[in-house]
Structure 1
Amino acid sequence: MPVPSEADDPIDEAFAAYLRSCDEGSVGSRDEFLAQFPEMAEELRSLMDAADAINRFTGAAAADSADVVQGGAAADTVDVLVAGPDDSGDDPAATLPEAHRAKGDPGPTLPYTLGDYELLEVIGRGGMGVVYRATQRMLNRTVAVKMIRGGMLACENDVRRFYTEAQAAARLHHPGIVPVYQFGHEAGHHFFSMALIEGTDLQRKINDGELPIDTAARYVRDVARALEHAHQNDLLHRDIKPANILIDQKDRVHITDFGLAKNLGSDSSVTGSGAAVGTPNYMAPEQAGGHSDRATRQSDVYSLGAILFACVTGRPPLVGDTVVDTLMQVVHEPPPTMRAFRSNVPTDLETIVAKCLEKEPRKRYQTAGDLAEDLDAFLEGRPILARPRGRLLKTWHWVCGVPLVGALIGRKVVRTSPGHRRFQAAMLLLLALSPFFFVIGAMLWSRHIEAMPQRVVLAGGLKQGVYTGISQAIADRLQQSAGVAVQVIETDGSLDNRNRLLDRQVQLAPMQASSISGDDLCVIAPLIYEAAHLLVRAPDLVQHDKPLNMQMLAGRKIAVGPYGSGSRRTADMILDSLNLSGDDTPREVIAWENLQSPDAPDIALICIGRGSTLVSGLLQQRWRLVAIPQGISITMQHPTLRTITIDPSHYQNADIPEEGLATVGTTAFLVTRRDAPSALVQTTLELLYQPPRLFSDLIPRERAAEWQGLDLHHAARRYFESLDTPSR
């Protein structure tokens, strides 16, 4: 820079001295320098301010030429850290910091020494900074060096943003974030060095053509994971956009440019309340509305959704003719669907993007990590957590614009369309006719609940089990007499039958009394008594001259029914009442037909109807039936159980004493839902008790009155109350 002669104006001479001191790095601050010239301080300050204004104007112009313009709305400044050819068409020497150029002099040419760094070539520039490929001599490595574009003319806010970026990135250590090595002030220039990413940036990838959908989702997923690391360190980026996402030669993403970052811990940032910072096409509505100080983690999530939209469709979700128009759209207009621009977009991906682009932050993904998880699920073909916005919700939002509805819900409606007015007139007409519709609806509903269904599904039980046989017998009569299609499905027992009834998979199901609970289920009729059969075959237990002591079972394995079956439920209640815990008496699930195996337990507790063919077969194979004592005590603990006796008539040639074997048992009921059609219940009851007897141990209908407190279906209650036979 030329030195003014003695004939120059004193103010020019002082200003030139200031420029030299900035070049040499010997000036502390502007105020310190102005204090040396109190008589001309105001004039010098005006010159410095004018230089700042010129520098900002020229910097913005350069940014406009270097940054991407989408749909007429210019994107915010971007500093490209990727190594590649300088496609700006400018002389690299002209991009050196302004402090190294004198008027009319292009300045020193590259390479240029800056402290420990040797600047080799320009690899990127933006509105605020210039990035050079450089060699760090002490460590002999190639790095990227970013210098503030205004040089010593940079204003205080530019310097603050510059150091905010350096300090923010330096706090983060993640493979998806460009690391910062060093930052400082050298020869009047603010700079920081960082890793050099060989490759390109995501904006250029988008500009080059349509990205594969899986590739776009993977890019944004990896960016979300890196951003989640920043959020966990209390740092918001607030300017996530494709140009700030670098893609290296191994197709890995790296986030850069933390110049607008906000520290959540200290609530510090380069902007204050009322400023809209970021890139209009990618900033969240709360930022676009001038509330950047209210930005949260969900604000960055919105930007990720906008980036994914751009990667898939080739354009941001909302694009206006001007920056202001774009901001207004971001705040007020719903984004279009991606399928409007690319027809093969999967529904799950469109759902993910729609959740990111919600206007209200609370409706978006709460963390970038949640977004990454959903994108992982999409890429792996797993179900995603996000749910699409249904047509019902969209319709409700339209209905809220009707004046009458708005008044009822407290929403002010300023303008209404002809469609809203016509809809309101129809609403008033329907309101006037509602009593008539109510009566007609009640009549139709009554007919519906009384009608016989065209198809009936019954739950059975285990394969070749008693419940399956009962259900099949009922199904046969229903199909033959009522002319409806009937299906019986095998289940795992009473608890499984209960769940299937609640889930409306079946309409009728047999189950033990202990499994009937809840307001949605009710009884049609009692079916059979089921007795607990305690069988033993160990020589030391099979002693005809001595009764079996229950404590002799301690420490031995006992075979019980599978989980969810009524037999298992009854066995657990009996053993627990006899103080035989699972630790003392291990309970083993084994198929009943495998009890003949030598490896099977020597004790089995089976709750089944008396006279069972299963038990008869076991009694012919060295097994012996024994009594279960303390029956009254057990039934007092479990009201669904009752004392029962197994008589010799139930199992001939089984060495059962004449007085029978005392045991406990339960009752199996035919159960349905409370809202089951009355015609189905009525028809089932008539066929259940129709001669000949459906099965030998069916409880007679005359004895149904024994269960006075039974929660019967209303049609079943009418049926039993209509019987002429007195209850006994």
Structure 2
Amino acid sequence: MPEAQPRPTGYDLQPEQILDGRFLLIEIVSRSGMATIFKAIDQDNGQIVAIKVPYLHFESSPAFYSRFIREGEVGAKLDHPYLLKFIEVPNRSRPYLVMEFLEGETLAERLKRSGTLPEAEALSLASRICEALSYMHEHQVIHRDLKPQNVMLLTDGSIRVLDFGISKTIGRRFTFVGFTPALGTPEFMAPEQVLGKRGDERTDIYSLGTVLYRMLVGSNPFAGESDDVFVAMNARVTGDPEAPRRLNPQISEQAEEIILHAMERDPAKRYPSAAAFKTELDAPLKVALTGRCRRLQRPSRWRRHWKNVVLIGGVLIAIACGFIKLIYMIVHHGP
């Protein structure tokens, strides 16, 4: 009777191996819960690239595979200096993504080290992100998961917006399948995402407003509401964030106005486009002060808003079920 073969793990590829006879794997850059990123040499042209390879047991997950394929498809159709560049590879033997190799750190890492950014630097960075978003929106793509972890600050001074795994094509219906953060990251989600609505380009504008808030204030919006995710998510549906200048008086009135304009709960009251957002970021002294900071509404207690409770509860139940499925897969298929 033949010996049982060991169950393959997600770590089947190692440095010094050659993938598909083309990519020489040099070293492991990082490992997440679902994929490994390698630094590699494209032997066709000598270019240094990054290769993202999912663990074998996730390749059979419809939810993960859908996100992985979407990231590659969206990345391949976009070509902008501030967006991560993908390299198309025909006839791949297994799922993997080939991307430009980046030297630098994420905005999240920078903020962890420095706390906040100088106002001029933060507005300039937000302006460049707006430029990238404007290009995406012109090509009918909404990012939907903009956050400091998905902005790379390169050593040459440039930036890249990363991770198109839950992006959505405008006008195309999106279906939630299994465990995937299809709704975004709670701390940076727009109110319409919390409520499970489809959203549009203005969803990205809200998220960028929260990123700018974090860069200038030093904490995320609604951070003081509760450590409970349920309460914090409901807060952005029923109320507005703390006025930025109350938490950091060094912020200019114009910068505060810009942040609060981008973070209006009603999408119709936000900047109508990333281009309009960028215009004010580039010329803050020309921003009209409308008194938004004096009209902010404190979030209502979630118990008084049973409809929101039901909607948000459904979202959290879906995510919880996904986590249970994920744990089951790890236990039964290896780490």
TM-score (norm 2): 0.80
Alignment equivalent of 1:98, drawn from 2, 6, 10: 10
- Answering whether residue 35 of structure 2 is matched by residue 129 of structure 1, we say yes
Counterpart of 2:219 (choices 290, 308, 315) is 315
RMSD: 2.7
Instruction: Structure 2: give runs of 5+ residues left out of the alignment.
Output: 306-335
Aligned residue identity for 1:300: D
Aligned to 1:249: 155
Question: 1:628-643, aligned counterparts within 5 Å?
Answer: none
Deviation at 1:289, TM superposition (A): 1.9
Q: Cα distance, 1:323 vs. partner? A: 2.5
Specify the alignment match of 1:199 in structure 2. 104
Q: What is the CA–CA distance in structure 2 between the aligned matches of 1:390 and 1:192, rounded to whole Å?
A: 44
Say if 2:296 is the partner of 1:384.
Answer: no
In structure 1, what is the equivalent of residue 164 of structure 2? 258
Deviation for aligned residue 1:358:
0.9
Q: Which amino acid letter does the alignment assign opposite residue 47 of structure 2?
A: R
1:185/1:191 contact within 8 Å kept: no
Structure with bigger RCO (C-alpha 8 Å, 6+ apart)? 2
Distance 2:59 2:99 in 1: 24
SS of the residue 2:292 aligns to? coil
Matches within 5 A, 1:514-553: none
Residue from 278, 282, 291 that aligns with 2:184? 278
| 2:209 alignment counterpart | 305
Residues 174 and 388 of structure 1: is their aligned pair in 2 closer, same or farther, counting only changes over 3 Å?
Answer: farther
| SS of residue paired to 1:335 | coil
Matched, 1:333 2:333: no
Does 1:110 find its partner at 2:4? no
Counterpart residue type for residue 347 of structure 1: E
Shift of 1:276: 6.1
Give the Cα–Cα distance (whole angstroms) in 2 for the partners of residues 212 and 282 of structure 1. Answer: 21
Q: Deviations over 1:126-169 (max 9, x none)?
A: 34332111110011110111112345654011111101001111
Q: Deviations over 1:35-81 (max 9, x none)?
A: xxxxxxxxxxxxxxxxxxxxxxxxxxxxxxxxxxxxxxxxxxxxxxx
1:430-441 equivalences under 5 Å are none
CA contact (8 A) 1:262 1:269 kept: no
Query: Partner of 2:184: helix, strand, or coil?
Result: coil
Pair 178,270 (structure 1): closer, same or farther in 2 beyond 3 Å = farther
**Secondary structure of the structure 2 residue equivalent to 1:281:** helix
Match of 2:66 among 137, 150, 160: 160
1:325 offset after TM fit, Å? 2.8
SS in 1 for 2:188: coil
With over 3 angstroms needed to count, the CA separation of the structure-2 counterparts of 1:109 and 1:211, relative to structure 1, is same
Task: State percent identity of aligned pairs.
Answer: 26
Q: In 2 relative to 1, CA 169–153 (structure 1 residues): closer, same or farther, beyond 3 Å?
A: closer
Aligned counterparts, 1:689-708, within 5 A: none
Structure 1 alignment gaps of length 5 or more: 24-96, 101-107, 402-412, 415-728
Deviation, structure 1 residue 205: 0.9
CA distance in 1, matches of 2:84, 2:274: 18
Distance in 1, matches of 2:59 and 2:182, equals 25
Whether the aligned pair in 2 keeps the contact of 1:238 and 1:261 (CA below 8 Å) is yes
Aligned-pair distance for 1:202? 0.5
Partners in 1 of 2:175 and 2:86 — Cα distance? Answer: 19
How far did residue 257 of structure 1 move?
0.2
Count of residue pairs the alignment pairs up: 295
1:666-681 mapped onto 2 (5 Å cutoff): none
For 1:134 and 1:123, the matched residues in 2 are separated by 10
1:306-339 deviation digits (Å, cap 9, x = unpaired): 0000111222112231332321222223101112
User: Is residue 126–residue 212 contact of structure 2 (8 Å, CA) maintained in 1?
Assistant: yes
Secondary structure (helix, strand or coil) at the match of 1:197 reads coil
> Residues 232 and 375 (structure 1 numbering): CA distance in 2 closer, same or farther, change over 3 Å?
same
Matched, 1:208 2:113: yes
2:58, 2:65 within 8 Å by CA — same for their partners in 1? no
Task: Summarize the alignment of residues 655-674 of structure 1 with structure 2, pairs less than 5 Å apart.
Answer: none
User: How far apart in 2 are the matches of 1:372 and 1:277?
Assistant: 25
> Distance between the aligned counterparts of 1:333 and 1:184, measured in 2?
49
Q: Secondary structure at the match of 1:132?
A: strand
* Distance in 1, Cα, partners of 2:155 & 2:175: 33
Distance 1:149 1:216 in 2: 37
Structure 1 or 2, whichever has the larger Rg, is: 1
Matching residue's letter, 1:139: N
1: CA distance between counterparts of 2:220 and 2:95? Answer: 34
Counterpart mapping for 1:595-614 below 5 A: none
State whether residues 305 and 356 of structure 1, in contact with CA within 8 Å, keep that contact through their aligned partners in structure 2: yes
Q: State the distance in 1 between where 2:35 and 2:11 align.
A: 14
Name the counterpart of 2:320.
Answer: none
- CA deviations on 1:233-277 (whole Å, 9 max, x unpaired) are 0001100000100011122221110000101143346559xx861
